[in-house]
């Protein structure tokens, strides 16, 4: 079975400071990892993905994420936070080795608040 943990329900950072939203995963095979963002009353928006290759992946709006296989982590980062980054962030994993290989398993989400 595949699972995702986002250990922080909420992260607060000051505008202009770097931000990190943590994610760890568990799969039986190789993971496909995703980050999505959800603004109030809106659907999930895709930010970035890791499939294979370079462990540092870059995505939309200046976000990036680092895949660490030994720590089974995929933390989301941004060098300088904006107030407009305040939203709910979801990490998701897909395991192509297991049954149900096209379904995404999501974490519970982390609410990011960027303080002006």
Question: Nearer Cβ to other proteins, position 44 or 82?
Answer: 44
State the first-to-last Cα distance of the chain, in angstroms, to the nearest integer: 41
Among 115, 116, 108, smallest CA distance to 38 is for 108
Residue 70 touching other proteins (CB under 8 A)? no
Residue 19 touching other proteins (CB under 8 A)? no
Selected range binding other proteins among 18-26, 63-71, 79-87, 94-102, rule: CB under 8 A: 94-102
The span from the CA of 80 to the CA of 63, in Å, is 9
Measured from the CB of residue 96, what is the shortest distance to other proteins in angstroms?
Answer: 7
Question: Nearer Cβ to other proteins, position 15 or 106?
Answer: 106
Q: Which of 25, 36, 67, 74 binds other proteins (CB under 8 A)?
A: 36
Question: Nearer Cβ to other proteins, position 14 or 51?
Answer: 51
Which string of b and e fits 28-56 if b means at least 16 CB within 10 Å? eeebbbbbbbeeeeeebeebbbbeeeeee
């Amino acid at each position: 079975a595949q699972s995702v943990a986002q250990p922080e329900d909420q992260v607060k950072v000051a505008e202009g400071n770097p931000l990190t939203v943590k994610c760890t995963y568990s799969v039986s095979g190789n993971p496909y990892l995703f980050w999505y963002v959800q603004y109030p009353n809106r659907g999930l928006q895709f930010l970035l993905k890791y499939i294979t290759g370079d462990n540092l992946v870059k995505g939309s709006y200046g976000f990036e994420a680092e895949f660490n296989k030994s720590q089974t982590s995929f933390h989301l980062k941004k060098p300088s936070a904006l107030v407009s980054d305040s939203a709910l962030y979801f990490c998701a994993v897909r395991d192509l080795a297991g049954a149900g290989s096209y379904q995404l398993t999501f974490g519970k989400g982390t609410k990011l608040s960027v303080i002006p």
